[in-house]
Structure 1
Amino acid sequence: MNETIPAALAAAVRKDPTTPLLTWYDDTTGDRTELSGATMDNWVAKTANLLVDGLGLGPGDSAAVLLPPHWQTAAILLGTWAAGLEVYTGPDPRPVDALFAWPDTLEAAGAWSAGDSYATGLLPLAMPLRPVPPGYVDYTVEVRGYGDHFASRRPARPGDAALNGTDHGTISGTAAARARELGIEPGARVLIDARAYPDPADWLLTPLFAGASIVLCAALDPAVTERRVAAENVTLTLA
């Protein structure tokens, strides 16, 4: 059993690094981004290297991730956990060592005390954010300079704090129970309406621990749902 989030990701990548792990749709912009296990792993490694090599962070440190469901959010979350950090997603501001925000959460982010702050526009093709808000560094630009592989000097342990005060082991057990509740089985291809399931425990961690792949949709258009289910070989729809 995978008792930590990095272990669950490693198992998913090891199973088949070439098949889609997360496919992102935004029906407002027409954006579609598909990440295989290997591609997601590269983004996760770059993010972890940014935090560890770039900022000198590691176990015992923390990050605020004030971002909506998105493929970049998945990479940032998984990267912070790979680096050994605890993640806070709000709403209670507190001192953290790193912060990730986007234009819609900049005002809320101002209440947080952070050592280093990164912004992303969550734009198609991971395009740079213009202009970059004062006091922020563009995540999508900065992260590209870091390595595609990451090896933790102290891998996460089940008792380590992971998300909003909950440890990896508890998240693992909760995810297994939630997967049974939602009907997510190993090997499933799950279409998720991000508006209905905004919690990363649902749209990211539960499918990951269950061994499922994700079709994550923002602003899901009901008119295209049936066609998307067929095109993406979806076996379960959560909307």
Structure 2
Amino acid sequence: MHTTIPQALADAVRRDPTTPLLTWYDDATGDRTELSGATLDNWVSKTANLLVDGLGLGQGDTVAVLLPPHWQTAAVALGVSAAGLTADLGDRPQPVEVVFTCPDRVAEAAAWPAVDRYATGLLPLALPLREVPPGFVDYVTEVRNHGDHYRGAPVAPDDQALAGPIPLSHLGVMRNATERAAELGITAGDRVLIDTRTHPDPMDWLYAPLAAGASVVLCANLHPSKVTSRAEAEKVTVLLT
């Protein structure tokens, strides 16, 4: 079992950096984005560099991630972990150093006491926002200015990974994710199609597949008529719909 979140991602990339690790579909917009292990790792590294080099954050700092299931959410959450910071996935406003959000949650994000605020439109092709909300910085524009490789200090298993009523260390997240993967029937090498409406919890769509060594086909607004053909086209082995 992996003992930290960055270790699980590194192993996924090491197995095969070129094959799809996370494929995103939104049937409402027609968006499809495919990220290999290497590509997702680049986004994660850029995010970690933004947080550490750009904002000067360090161990003990907390980042609120107020975003729905999406490949950019994976990049942000994993980037927070890579940087050795704590991710708060957002049940109620708490003092944090940084908030990441999207336009339809700007009012909610504004209630979080934070020094820095980033917004992303979660748009196809990672396009920037047409209009950036006042007081926020466009994440996809800013993150591209940072390096593709993160060379910060390694994360320890006992470092806090997730905030909340019951905070979890990296080791705690990996233990929970491994147990959840077993409950969902996810094993190493699986390709898992996940409906974001039925499995919105990052433990299901992000951490459990990562801990198990599986790849993900993450689907928003999934149309029932497309499940069979998509599963065949993406060589899916596990359906979570």
TM range (shorter): over 0.9
1:185-224 matched pairs, under 5 angstroms = 185-224=187-226
Q: Tell me the residue number matched to 2:132.
A: 132
Q: Identify unmatched segments of 5+ residues in structure 1.
A: none
Q: Tell me the residue number matched to 1:158.
A: 157
Secondary structure of the residue that 2:97 maps to in structure 1? Answer: strand
Find the partner of 2:186 among 170, 179, 184: 184
Mapped to 1, the partners of 2:55 and 2:68 lie a distance apart of: 24
Superposed structure 1 runs of 4+ greater than 6 Å apart: none
Q: Tell me the residue number matched to 2:27.
A: 27
**After superposition, what is the alpha-carbon deviation per residue over 1:98-117, rounded to whole angstroms, capped at 9, x for unaligned?**
11010111111111011110
Mapped to 2, the partners of 1:54 and 1:152 lie a distance apart of: 13
**After superposition, what is the alpha-carbon deviation per residue over 1:127-167, rounded to whole angstroms, capped at 9, x for unaligned?**
011210000000000000100001122x1111111112211
Mapped to 1, the partners of 2:152 and 2:223 lie a distance apart of: 40
Q: Identify unmatched segments of 5+ residues in structure 2.
A: none
Following superposition, the deviation at residue 64 of structure 1 comes to 0.2
- Alignment of 1:103 with 2:107, yes or no, is no
Secondary structure of the residue that 2:114 maps to in structure 1? Answer: strand
1:1-239 matched pairs, under 5 angstroms = 1-153=1-153, 155-164=154-163, 165-239=167-241
TM-score when normalising by structure 1:
0.98
Secondary structure of the residue that 1:64 maps to in structure 2? Answer: strand
Q: Which amino acid aligns with 2:196?
A: A
Secondary structure of the residue that 1:87 maps to in structure 2? Answer: strand
Mapped to 1, the partners of 2:177 and 2:133 lie a distance apart of: 36
Mapped to 2, the partners of 1:173 and 1:167 lie a distance apart of: 10
RMSD over aligned Cα atoms: 0.7
Percent identity of paired positions between Structure 1 and Structure 2: 63
Mapped to 1, the partners of 2:173 and 2:143 lie a distance apart of: 27
Mapped to 2, the partners of 1:29 and 1:92 lie a distance apart of: 30
Q: Which amino acid aligns with 1:190?
A: V
Following superposition, the deviation at residue 71 of structure 1 comes to 0.3
Following superposition, the deviation at residue 26 of structure 1 comes to 0.1
Secondary structure of the residue that 2:226 maps to in structure 1? Answer: helix
Secondary structure of the residue that 2:78 maps to in structure 1? Answer: helix
Q: Which amino acid aligns with 2:223?
A: D
TM-score when normalising by structure 2:
0.97
Following superposition, the deviation at residue 8 of structure 1 comes to 0.3
**After superposition, what is the alpha-carbon deviation per residue over 1:23-75, rounded to whole angstroms, capped at 9, x for unaligned?**
00000000000000000000000000000100001211110000000000000
Q: Which amino acid aligns with 2:191?
A: R
Following superposition, the deviation at residue 92 of structure 1 comes to 1.3
Q: Aligned pairs, how many?
A: 238
